[in-house]
Amino acid sequence: MNVDEELKRVADQERLLRFPVFTETTAWQVGSALRARAEALGQGVAIEIRQAGGTLFYCTMPGANPLNAEWARRKHNLVDLTHTSSYATRLTLQREARTLQEAHGLPDRDYTAHGGCFPLLVEGCGFVGTITVSGLPQRDDHYLIVEVLAAHLGIALDTQP
């Protein structure tokens, strides 16, 4: 799949994967489902769900390392600014042959355009937070989130990377 096709696919995901409401209970359900799916795949990841600047769910699994928390922080910082997935930003920069620093002047120590952070979107409200996975290749981090969100929301979506 080329970059433009993948960007369209990600834009469709962001348009469709919206919650009617999002509460602490929803965060627990989604976070637990992400952990269960990663465990079923035999993957160790860090998972973080944030809303209004606060952490609602955080988990590191066996196989994850302390750097995964740092990657998650840098990913969610980017999505907090852009309100679009970190993978979409990565693909856009790839298409433009630019870095995040060149495009937006954002320092690498605090921001990264690597897949694995998805905007938490609520119908009628818009962006309210982030859902982040770190520990897999960036495309796989992104699609783990998409797969679990689609299942949770009951949306038929092609979630295969």
Residue type (1 letter), 65 = N
Q: Is the pTM of this model over 0.85?
A: yes
State the Cα–Cα distance between residues 88 and 39, nearest whole angstrom. Answer: 26
3-153 sits in which CATH class? alpha beta
Neighbouring C-beta atoms of residue 73, cutoff 10 Å = 18
Decide if 132 contacts 47 (C-beta within 8 A): yes
93 vs 50, 66, 87, 103, CA distance in Å?
25, 27, 10, 8
Neighbouring C-beta atoms of residue 111, cutoff 10 Å = 23
Cα 22 to chain centroid, rounded: 16
The domain ranges of the chain are 3-153
In order along its 161 residues, the chain shows pLDDT tens digits of 799 999 999 999 999 999 999 999 999 999 999 999 999 999 999 999 999 889 999 999 999 999 999 999 999 999 999 999 999 999 999 999 999 999 999 999 999 999 999 999 999 999 999 999 999 999 999 999 999 999 999 998 876 65
